[in-house]
Amino acid sequence: MSVSAPVGRVLLLASALLLTACSAPSGASPSADPTSALPLPGPEDGSGTSRPPGGAESDRDAPAGEGPLGARVVVIDPGHNGGNAEAPDRINALVPAGPREKACDTVGAETASGYTEHEFNWDLSLLVKERLEADGATVILTREDDEGVGPCIDERAAIGNEHRADAALSVHADGGPETGRGFHVITPGEVSGFTEDIVEPSRLLAEDIRREYLVGSGVPYADYLADEGLDERTDLGGLNLSTVPKVFLEAGNMRNPQDAALLEDPGWREQAADAIARGVAAYLMRE
């Protein structure tokens, strides 16, 4: 497989960063700004694009520390894991989740044709990682492959905290009602003694990802929950236990046929990853 494609994308991404950073005032407008849409690389041939677990480490375009995102640390948390379904005792065990305990992890959703959420989350996370690394960021994943169990939600949060991530993103797709479609970004609400310090910066991170994802992915705001693609929650351990700015992206509804067709399309995932990377980069360049 050729790895030359990312180079063009890097240039696009770099120019996107400059434009986005200059045109996005802090406290960004809640509505999508179509002027920030940049030409995306056309859908690429998705055949055989699956990469070996952790393989992105070896095809960096820039060493960490060089490029517009140099010295920035991003933790990407691909939701769930491929072994969860076979380990109910471990994933149902209660762990700290903020004021209350919650199950260690869950199995996640899947499309009607059987594309599982854990696999989607893994596939998309690797693509986002690759893009951010191409711009010099240090990217850490919370799991090393798609075959293990967990880690539990408290450990996922701890990984972002330990690395003092500048931004953390948990990647998911929803298992909503078949008739509802769209994406949403979940932000931490105020939980006394837990999230006070991350509510505001996480909201900005969510707004940057929402803006770029709406334009770049072609997936609309969720029409069955959230408010214009944003949902504030206080019940998620992965957010409550984070001490660094963190959001969850629910990239689409796996149970909806229209969304599922996109989520299952490797070419679409490349576009979605471009958009997510632009959103994260825009947030990192606010500061």
Q: How far is CA 72 from CA 7, 12, 22, 79, 124, in A?
A: 20, 19, 19, 22, 20
Give the binding-site size for Zn ion (rule: CB under 5 A). Answer: 3
Helical segments of the chain, H only: 5-23, 88-92, 117-134, 153-162, 199-217, 237-240, 257-263, 266-284
What amino acid positions are annotated as catalytic residues? 250
Instruction: Return the amino acid letter for 275.
Output: A
Q: Contacts with Zn ion in 147-176 (CB under 5 A)?
A: 172
Helix and strand counts by DSSP (H, E) for the chain: 8, 8
- Residue 79 or 279 having the CB closest to Zn ion: 79
User: Does residue 252 interact with Zn ion by CB under 5 A?
Assistant: no
**In angstroms, what is the minimal distance from the CB of 191 to Zn ion?**
20
What span, in angstroms and rounded, lies between the C-alpha atoms of 124 and 130? 10
User: Does residue 237 interact with Zn ion by CB under 5 A?
Assistant: no
**In angstroms, what is the minimal distance from the CB of 153 to Zn ion?**
11
User: Does residue 136 interact with Zn ion by CB under 5 A?
Assistant: no
What span, in angstroms and rounded, lies between the C-alpha atoms of 120 and 125? 8
Q: At what angle do helices 266-284 and 117-134 cross, to 10 degrees?
A: 50
- Residue 13 or 241 having the CB closest to Zn ion: 241
- Residue 212 or 250 having the CB closest to Zn ion: 250
- CB atoms inside a 10 Å sphere around CB 217: 22
CA 61 to chain centre: 21
In the stretch 7-26, what mask flags binding to Zn ion with x, by CB under 5 A?
--------------------
**In angstroms, what is the minimal distance from the CB of 117 to Zn ion?**
5
**In angstroms, what is the minimal distance from the CB of 121 to Zn ion?**
7
- Residue 172 or 255 having the CB closest to Zn ion: 172
CA end-to-end span of the chain: 37
In the stretch 85-124, what mask flags binding to Zn ion with x, by CB under 5 A?
-----------------------x----------------
Q: What is the DSSP letter of 215?
A: H
- Residue 105 or 207 having the CB closest to Zn ion: 105
Among 78, 79, 151, 238, binds Zn ion (CB under 5 A): 79
Interacting residues with Zn ion (CB under 5 A) = 79, 108, 172
